[in-house]
Amino acid sequence: MNVKKENISYWTKSSQFNQFPQLTQDLQTDVLIIGGGIASILAAYQLAKAGREVTVLEGRHLSQGTTAGTTAKITAQHHLLYQNFIKQRSEEEARLYYEAQTDGINVIRNLADEYNIDCDMETLSSIQVTIGESEKKIRKEYEAYQKLGINGDLHEKDMGLPFETTMGLEMYDQAQFHPLKFLAGMVEVCVDLGVTFFEETMVKKIDGNTVETESGQEVSFNQLICATHYPIVNIKHNLLFHLEIERSYIVAVKDHTPIPYAMFQVADIPERSLRHYITEDGLGLLVGGENHVTGAKDDVEVGYERLAYDAKALFNVDHIEDKWSAQDMMTADKMPLIGRYSKNDDRIFVITGFNKFGMATAGVGSLVLRDLLMGQSNKYEELLKPSRIDTLSSQIKATAKKAFSAIKGQTKAVKDYRTDRDALHTDEAGIFLTDGKFEAVYKDDEGTEHAVSPFCTHMGCVLSFNNGEKTWDCACHGSRFDCDGKVLHGPASTDLTQQ
């Protein structure tokens, strides 16, 4: 059998984590954290440092989800959003958001320094550039920087990239690192502080103060943090319509045309993200972009092809070293959801909706969650609280309209089902009606067919095939399954039925 697996990121290939056992018996704990990415590990550290007993359950392996697919920019420069925050919210809240992100940067930088974690941590600038199309927006963003006291500058000149630019907006004192080297070190620190980790332990449901795993174990808790990307807790506060799931792509190259040593984001369409990364034999370059709603594109491989074309044409390379993708939770108001899941409930907390900038957000999120679980206030809790989305009706409607548009196109797959299963080519997939039953079928390079149910086990949405990574993806809430039906990304916690 020859099935192409998920593309593996450079971060994963160049790091090593301690392995942890699967949970095989019932358990009691003080604080339970579901999920094993950067948000989970940093929250576990903060709470263990404060003296709490912490248990972490990860459905697959630690830091092998979105954290492994990040560009790992630790920055408060999130595209050109501060002008919109001032307009839509207030100058005070926009300033508070910048301060929160700056605190998040410092959390990660200080931890790497305190525990001597060798993770290629570097302090450098983040720069938004334009080829001319976004000059007006960049000028307005710089005006927002001046109002908010953001440490940055506007450069009305070419920014030295191998393609012509007319302007750059620089934010100073940002950072980048190797995220998995950092987290491998932090996991060791957490273990020394008494944190207990379990891997390959998928949580199926939450009932009161108990969770049940897919294999039947029960874990009781006093307080719980859901750090599962898309929250697995029951839908409240219009959360279903507040979150949109986007997928994006990265290619890694070496021996490229030199560029200034900074993190870059092209503000025009198509957007491109650029940053250096450190390898054993020098510097490489990450080129990212091609965002789309998960499950909404028929031809996903074209995203990699476009990035590879740009990398080769603009940076004079002839070989792509690595390629991978990431999945991001997007919120209607572009702010993360961190805090109490229900306004007056001190049992269950969530952290999600990082809008593609999860590093600094996870850092500040760990501080907010630590304070709330310890019964203390935090200066950012009102800004980031999940219950705020009840008041965002117009933004939620816009997000819902966009999401349902993607789902409508994806659901068309059932209407366009096939019956000619014998005509399926190798490395091709389709949804077939066989003996009155729908089947999602992928034929691998050796001609072996992999048939599973085409309906997501989370809420029953129709899946679509991702030809770039040979997975079945859900446009409704972002769940992903391999071609044999195994859950790769939640919120689904149950594998697809094999047909």
At the topology level of CATH, where does 416-489 sit?
Answer: Rieske Iron-sulfur Protein (2.102.10)
Other C-beta atoms lying within 10 Å of the C-beta of residue 1: 9
In this prediction, residues 305-320 reach a mean pLDDT of 92
State how far the alpha carbon of 212 is from the alpha carbons of 22, 202, 203, 452, in Å: 14, 9, 6, 25
The rounded Cα 284 to chain-centroid distance in angstroms is 22
What is the fold, at CATH topology level, of the domain defined by 120-173+242-331? D-Amino Acid Oxidase; Chain A, domain 2 (3.30.9)
* Amino acid at site 108: I
Residue pLDDT, tens place only, 377-428? 999 999 999 988 655 554 445 444 544 444 444 445 566 677 788 778 888 8
What is residue 159's three-state secondary structure? coil
**Total-model pTM:** 0.86
Q: Which residues of 405-425 are buried (b: 16+ CB within 10 A; e: fewer)?
A: ebbebbbebeeebeeeeeebe
Percent of the chain at pLDDT > 70 equals 90
Question: Which has the closest alpha carbon to 444: 421, 432, 428, 462?
Answer: 428
Instruction: Give the residue-averaged pLDDT of 102-107.
Output: 99
The answer to whether residues 49 and 114 touch, using CB atoms and an 8 Å cutoff, is no
Query: What does the domain layout of the chain look like in residue ranges?
Result: 10-70+180-238+334-399, 120-173+242-331, 416-489
Q: Give pLDDT, residue 406.
A: 46
Residue 90 has pLDDT above 80, yes or no: yes
Q: How far is the CA of 240 from the CAs of 91, 186, 245, in angstroms? A: 29, 32, 11
Helix-helix angle 91-114:135-148, to 10 degrees = 80
H or E element, residue 244 = strand 243-254
**Cα–Cα distance for residue pair 168/286, rounded to 1 Å:** 19
- Decide if 465 contacts 443 (C-beta within 8 A): no
| Same fold across 10-70+180-238+334-399 and 416-489 | no
Per-residue pLDDT band at 471 (split at 50, 70, 90): confident
Helix (H) or strand (E) holding 449: strand 449-452
In eight-state DSSP terms, residue 390 is G
The pLDDT, as a whole number, for residue 411 is 47
Contacts of 69 (CB under 8 A, 6+ apart): 9, 250, 324, 325, 326, 327
Beta-carbon contacts of 484 under 8 Å, excluding residues fewer than 6 positions away, are 3, 450, 452, 498
pLDDT digit string, tens, across residues 337-366: 999 988 888 999 999 999 999 999 999 999
Strand ranges (E), 317-445 = 322-331, 337-340, 348-352, 428-434, 437-443
Pick the residue with more confidence: 298 or 147? 147
* Confidence label for 238 from pLDDT (cuts 50, 70 and 90): low
pLDDT tens for 153-212 read 999 999 999 999 999 999 999 999 999 999 999 999 999 999 999 999 999 889 999 999
Report the distance separating Cα 461 and Cα 327, nearest Å.
18
Block residue for tokens 């049940």: 212
Question: What CATH number has the domain spanning 10-70+180-238+334-399?
Answer: 3.50.50.60
What backbone torsions phi and psi does residue 347 show, to the nearest 5 degrees?
-95, -45
CA distances, 237 to each of 90, 329, 388 (Å): 23, 16, 8
Contact 167, 80 (CB under 8 A): no
